[in-house]
Structure 1
Amino acid sequence: MPQQISAPHGGQSRPGTGAADVRHDLWAPVLLRAVVALVFAAVTVFWQQPSLTTGRWLMAFFLVGTGVSAIFLQVRLNRREDVDLGASRSIPQSYGVLYVLGGALTAVVASSDWLLVLLSAVIMGLCGITELVLGMRFRHEFPLGRDWSLCGVVTVFAAMGMVLVENLGTKAELGVAGGAAIILGVSQLVAALSLRHDARAADQTRQGPERAA
């Protein structure tokens, strides 16, 4: 049975439901993810000689913050009865929880560079692949489809890059993750602002016929 999605091509609410445009519920979680990524990127770029302890806490912040933004998105989606992603509806919560648990584990367990890379790369790889698959599945039918795809690809490549530079130390590992975070942060910031703008424009378009009636 094909997936039933009530927010096609831009996320307008289902006609006749009276529900606000779905993008009203999407932009804030996306903005939170952007802020987390940009803060992490800024710290990793300007901190020239991070210690292992600093590195694992920074990675924990990035992973946990990203996970919280995904769970926040899930909460917003759950309150939308007019949005149906089918069996994929709870996927953001799934990889969000994995991010949070992985970040907490990284902060506590990563006592060496290779362990920091192992934990971070596994978590980012699994979550990135999951997000990429989700994005590819809904890239034309849901407002976040293409953003999920982009974030998934960038996250997977970041995980691979961290593995490749593991022998170069904490600064190199954080540099790879920070570079990916810049891409994620900027793209998600643009996406959040676009979603908010488009939601307001959709509201004005809908209010026009209602006032005329």
Structure 2
Amino acid sequence: MPAETSAALGAPDTWVAPLARAIPALVLGLVITFNADHSALFGLVGFGIFGIVTAAVLFASALRSDRAVRGILLVQAIVTALAGIAALVLPTGGVGYLVVVVSAWAIIAGALEFVNGIRFRRTRLAARDWLLTGALTALLGLAFLLVPQGFAQDYSITDKGTVVSGTLTDSIILVGILGAWAVIVGVQLAIATLTLRPPRSAPVKAAEA
């Protein structure tokens, strides 16, 4: 195995990066899951904070990486930072703005990560996780584009004699999709942390005199 490949596989930050990315994703997913407000405003603010934190993680990871992957990681960091800033600058932009910001970010960032995974699928252990994360992120962008804007559907559910009614709107669906994606990707990155972290070597007992 080439020295560069060996170093990449055993780099001390190989498992730290997915762990640092898993935390904001899981936080976003859990906040959305346990919050009844699935408005576009809530989605933009939540995504904006997630984007800024994730961009910082990607930037730090790029600085610690070798030249082969540094370029795409930096572009990912820039794209993610711009998306996060765009979401926070205009949180009242509405459903249309939420779709534009999240879908554009997801398709571009997902494609970049997927390409990185393809490039290094035979030389780096982390490549398989880049492939999966990139594919899931790109699918998030496509899902956002498929939700019809202006969608509103009244519903009524009877549970043990109690009638629960409401209206399912496009913002509820979109923010729900964002939360589901965040939980799935967060769990996937957490699993990647466990698989990439090198096992601790057993302590060597001192030889008896």
Distance 1:186 1:109 in 2: 30
Alignment of 1:150 with 2:132, yes or no, is yes
Structure-1 residue corresponding to 2:113: 131
Alignment of 1:66 with 2:54, yes or no, is yes
Choose 1 or 2 for highest CA Rg.
2
Distance 2:114 2:19 in 1: 19
Residues 145-197 of structure 1: per-residue CA shift (max 9 Å, x gap)? 1111101000000111112225233221111111111121011111112222x
Residues 87-146 of structure 1: per-residue CA shift (max 9 Å, x gap)? x43211111111011110111135110111111100111010011011111012112111
After TM superposition, the structure 1 = structure 2 runs for residues 49-128 of structure 1, keeping only pairs within 5 Å, are: 49-77=37-65, 83=66, 85=68, 88-110=69-91, 111-128=93-110
Structure-2 residue corresponding to 1:31: 19
Distance 1:157 1:71 in 2: 23
Checking the alignment, whether the CA contact within 8 Å between 1:60 and 1:107 is kept in structure 2 is: yes
What is the root-mean-square deviation in Å for CA atoms of aligned residues?
A: 2.3
Q: Report % sequence identity.
A: 26
Structure with the higher helix share, 1 or 2: 1
Residues 21-47 of structure 1: per-residue CA shift (max 9 Å, x gap)? 31x212222111101110011011111
Distance 1:5 1:161 in 2: 41
Distance 1:148 1:40 in 2: 20
Checking the alignment, whether the CA contact within 8 Å between 2:144 and 2:174 is kept in structure 1 is: yes
Distance 1:52 1:96 in 2: 24
Distance 1:154 1:186 in 2: 12
Structure-1 residue corresponding to 2:196: 195
Checking the alignment, whether the CA contact within 8 Å between 2:38 and 2:176 is kept in structure 1 is: no
TM-score for both structures, normalised by structure 1: 0.77
Distance 1:47 1:171 in 2: 11
Checking the alignment, whether the CA contact within 8 Å between 2:126 and 2:196 is kept in structure 1 is: no
CA distance 1:166–1:181, shift in 2 (3 Å): farther
Structure-1 residue corresponding to 2:122: 140
Q: Which runs of 5+ in 2 are unaligned?
A: 150-168, 205-209
Alignment of 1:162 with 2:162, yes or no, is no
Question: What displacement does 1:5 show?
Answer: 7.2
TM-score for both structures, normalised by structure 2: 0.79
Distance 1:26 1:71 in 2: 14
Q: Which runs of 5+ in 1 are unaligned?
A: 13-20, 78-82, 209-213
Distance 1:52 1:89 in 2: 34
Structure-1 residue corresponding to 2:4: 6
Q: Which amino acid aligns with 2:56?
A: V
Structure with the higher strand share, 1 or 2: 2
Partner of 2:19, secondary structure, is helix
CA distance 1:173–1:140, shift in 2 (3 Å): same
